[in-house]
Amino acid sequence: MDTQQRCLVVRGRAGADAWSRISRISRISLTAGGSGEATRSSRSWLGIVCLVVALAACSLKANSFTPNQGSDAGPAATCSDMLKNGLETDVDCGGGCGPCEIGQQCASSADCVAGTCQEMACRAPSCSDGTRNGDETATDCGGSCGRCGDGEVCGTAADCRSGVCANATCQVATCSDDVHNGAETGTDCGGGCRGCGLGGPCLVDGDCGSPGICRAGLCSVALSCAELKDHGAAGGIGVYTIAPAGVSFDAVCDMATDGGGWTLLLKATGGDAVAADETLGYDAKAWTDDSLLNPLDLTITAGNAKYQSFMDLPVNTLTGDLDGFRYSQVVAGSTAHQVFVGGPAYSMDPAVFDATFNTTSDPKWSTQPNCHIYGINTDQGYGRTRFGWSANQEPDCATNDTAIGLGLENVSRPFLGAGYQCLSSLCSCRAPGCVDATVSLPGSGLLWGR
């Protein structure tokens, strides 16, 4: 029993005793007559005085007792008293107690079970809160956040932008790490590494190894010299790999003349004045069959060759080149094979013929004045041509003789590749400096397509 309790007891008992003693003293005083009575009365008054003094003491003691008014003086704060007290930032958490849940108040991130303390409240972890939290391996990256940069802490390859995690550190992408990373378009290729192979992913032609170009995001063999030209091929005559119909082969390209992008389809020669070369004369099967002729002769020197491009490459324009004299015809997306199998396709419009043939360049042949026919498979006898023109000295188309260009026939001469002939009267050479001749020397020619 402490002082306070004792005083309360004393006060209770003393109060009761006092009243009984006072009433007894009063009764004694009213009836007292002898000395014995007087003595008892004196002792009683002394007792009352003592009681009053004792009560006064107790009252002083009781008034100095102060009930619990707050934490500083109440029971010690605990982390489980359901009160926010002590150093806690929220009820029973933070400030040395356990961490607070998301949404509870905090003073620093250390007060929070997860995430960060922002604006005095615990926030859920995020990939942009400037703090490494959640499953991040470094600040705001790794885990379920975005990938970490080179040099940042990682747990697995997937934590790293480079896709390479070694020694718990994201590694710099290299061209030999067997991972598609950095600027690479494929694994260790493209983007400054070696060129990607055919079928590999690309963004630009430079991502592809030879002979690939980048078409629709994949390294592919060019369809034609024209496509190579479109992709930046420069220079003059060169050999390139193309695949017009899915099968790759090497072809001669002219990247310079008339805008470039020409694919060599065939070349022919007429031999010389002594011995005509009939290899690609008008009736040679090579003009219409599926065979190739000297396909590995990838040069433009005089000779006879029929290339895979003749069979496979659709072109919009055929151009003949007879010793440097060029002439063209639109053929609307056909292969040369289709064109020559397709039969005669020519114009008898004088404007077409003359626009092509009247030239100040130097064709080394003469032509006749009538029945000017220009185009494919001219079929007027006596002289025919695969791609060129024919003419007649008579004012009709019954006995044409002239027949110039890339596969000739004339009744009075052997079949002949490449070009020229006149073989009758009225042969006239139109170009300045050209000498009229009844029979022009056989030339050599190239058949280009674009």
Contact positions vs Ca ion (CB under 5 A): 81, 83, 85, 92, 129, 131, 133, 140, 177, 179, 181, 188, 392, 399, 401, 424
Tell me how far, at minimum, the Cβ of 381 lies from Ca ion, in Å.
9
Closest CA to 197 of 229, 221, 173: 221
Which lies closer to Ca ion via its Cβ, residue 15 or residue 103? 103
Tell me how far, at minimum, the Cβ of 164 lies from Ca ion, in Å.
8
Tell me how far, at minimum, the Cβ of 333 lies from Ca ion, in Å.
36
Which lies closer to Ca ion via its Cβ, residue 131 or residue 347? 131
Report which DSSP code applies to 275.
S
Q: Distance between CA atoms of 322 and 442, rounded to whole angstroms?
A: 10
Which lies closer to Ca ion via its Cβ, residue 140 or residue 278? 140
Residue 102: count of CB within 10 angstroms of its CB: 13
Q: Distance between CA atoms of 57 and 45, rounded to whole angstroms?
A: 19
Report which DSSP code applies to 159.
G
| Run of H or E including 18 | helix 3-31
Which lies closer to Ca ion via its Cβ, residue 308 or residue 424? 424
Which lies closer to Ca ion via its Cβ, residue 142 or residue 270? 142
Which lies closer to Ca ion via its Cβ, residue 76 or residue 332? 76
Closest CA to 233 of 244, 224, 243: 224
Which lies closer to Ca ion via its Cβ, residue 113 or residue 292? 113
Tell me how far, at minimum, the Cβ of 355 lies from Ca ion, in Å.
23
Q: Roughly how many angstroms between the first and final C-alpha of the chain, as a whole number?
A: 118
Closest CA to 426 of 434, 410, 437: 437
Which lies closer to Ca ion via its Cβ, residue 54 or residue 175? 175
Amino acid at 299: T
Cβ-contact 94, 88 below 8 angstroms? yes
Strands (E), 305-427: 305-306, 315-322, 325-334, 345-347, 370-378, 383-392, 408-410, 413-416
Tell me how far, at minimum, the Cβ of 196 lies from Ca ion, in Å.
12
Cβ-contact 302, 281 below 8 angstroms? no
Which lies closer to Ca ion via its Cβ, residue 80 or residue 301? 80
Tell me how far, at minimum, the Cβ of 195 lies from Ca ion, in Å.
14
Tell me how far, at minimum, the Cβ of 133 lies from Ca ion, in Å.
5
Please, is 252 exposed, middle or buried when counting C-beta atoms within 10 Å of its C-beta (0-12, 13-18, 19+)?
Answer: buried
Q: Distance between CA atoms of 23 and 33, rounded to whole angstroms?
A: 18
Tell me how far, at minimum, the Cβ of 74 lies from Ca ion, in Å.
12
Closest CA to 64 of 3, 9, 13: 3
Closest CA to 318 of 294, 354, 290, 342: 342
Tell me how far, at minimum, the Cβ of 408 lies from Ca ion, in Å.
15
Which lies closer to Ca ion via its Cβ, residue 137 or residue 424? 424
Which lies closer to Ca ion via its Cβ, residue 174 or residue 241? 174
Tell me how far, at minimum, the Cβ of 348 lies from Ca ion, in Å.
16
Q: Token pair 């009267």 is at which residue?
A: 425
Closest CB to Ca ion: residue number: 399
| Residue 297 tokens, joined | 């002769």
Question: Cα–Cα distances in Å, from 32 out to 22, 23, 40, 413?
Answer: 15, 14, 10, 187
Closest CA to 226 of 340, 326, 316, 330: 316
Tell me how far, at minimum, the Cβ of 93 lies from Ca ion, in Å.
8
